[in-house]
Amino acid sequence: MEMITAKSAGFCFGVKRAIDMVYEQIACFKGIPIYTYGPIIHNEAVVKDLENKGVCVINDVEQLKTIQTGTVIIRSHGVAQNIHNIIAEKGLGCVDATCPFVKRIHNIVEKESKAGKQIIVIGNQGHPEVEGITGWAEGPVFVAESEADAKSFIADKDISCCIVSQTTFNYNKFKELVDIFKKKGYNGNVVNTICNATEERQIEAGLIATEVDVMIVIGGKHSSNTRKLYEICRKKCASTYFIQTLEDLQLDLPTATALIGITAGASTPKNIIEEVQDYVRVNF
């Protein structure tokens, strides 16, 4: 049995940076509480470890309003401008671990909406990153995650649009939705803000899934980028497994399995990938 592990599997730059920032805060703990606004990543083991080290998760804006003292760490997804405002108004410390690629989208949305453009975000409705992005628009903002959404959009044709994307959105689907907006005759600019890390991980996963007999995708249940990786791989390889940790892996290998592929979402720690690799190496 041979095994191929995607080079791009696991933490991306932005997630690694955010986690490092949390551990730096723990290391220089000054006796004041440390919070993350939402779980720092979609990985229960990492969040548990942080909890054990005294880092609490703030789940929503109402909870944030009840906090009297401490430092709030903004995760790589970023947040809407009003969350920054609340933190500042309450006099809480703020460590902004928003991924610079997401911050770039906030800046584009803020600038273009101030210039009077209609903002269109291509991304998943309700995803925290999308909610953060829309929260930087100063005027109308529309979120499209499907063809139906894009087709249903009606705007004043005299107003220019600015289209951006959630960083983890599928590139081909993004292009399809942009085409729908273009066919509707809207003027404006399209900024492909899909992160290269996601695109590279998706392309590599698809290529590996084409070659292998079994594909293992590792990542958090709530991680949209892992789910997308799974979808891409599943299309190329019928025997694709989505697991969170090694414990979920119950390989029912098709006969004549010669090659197993492994990839992992952006929130998957290296040690979990290595555990799966070791398991495959030892058992097959």
Three-state SS sequence of 249-274: CCCCCCCCCCEEEEEECCCCCHHHHH
Closest CA to 196 of 7, 17, 13: 13
Q: At its nearest, how many Å lie between ligand F3S and the CB of residue 51? A: 22
Tell me whether residue 261 or residue 265 sits nearer to ligand F3S (CB atom). 265
Q: Confirm if 25 and 39 have CB atoms less than 8 A apart.
A: no
Q: Any catalytic annotation for residue 129?
A: yes
229 or 280, CB closer to ligand F3S?
229
Nearer to ligand F3S (CB atom), residue 67 or residue 191: 191
Minimum CB distance to ligand F3S smaller for 102 or for 273: 102
Q: Which of 62, 112, 129, 145 is catalytic?
A: 129
CB of 98 to ligand F3S, least distance (A): 9
Provide, rounded to whole angstroms, the least separation between the CB of residue 119 and ligand F3S: 18
Which residues contact ligand F3S by CB under 6 A? 12-15, 76, 99, 101-102, 167-168, 195, 197-198, 266
Strands 34-37 and 55-58, by their bridges, are parallel
Are 239 and 254 contacting, i.e. CB atoms less than 8 angstroms apart? yes
Q: How far is residue 58's CA from residue 67's CA, in Å, rounded to a whole number?
A: 9
- For residue 105, the minimal CB distance to ligand F3S (Å) is 9
117: DSSP letter: P
For the annotated catalytic residues, the residue numbers are 129
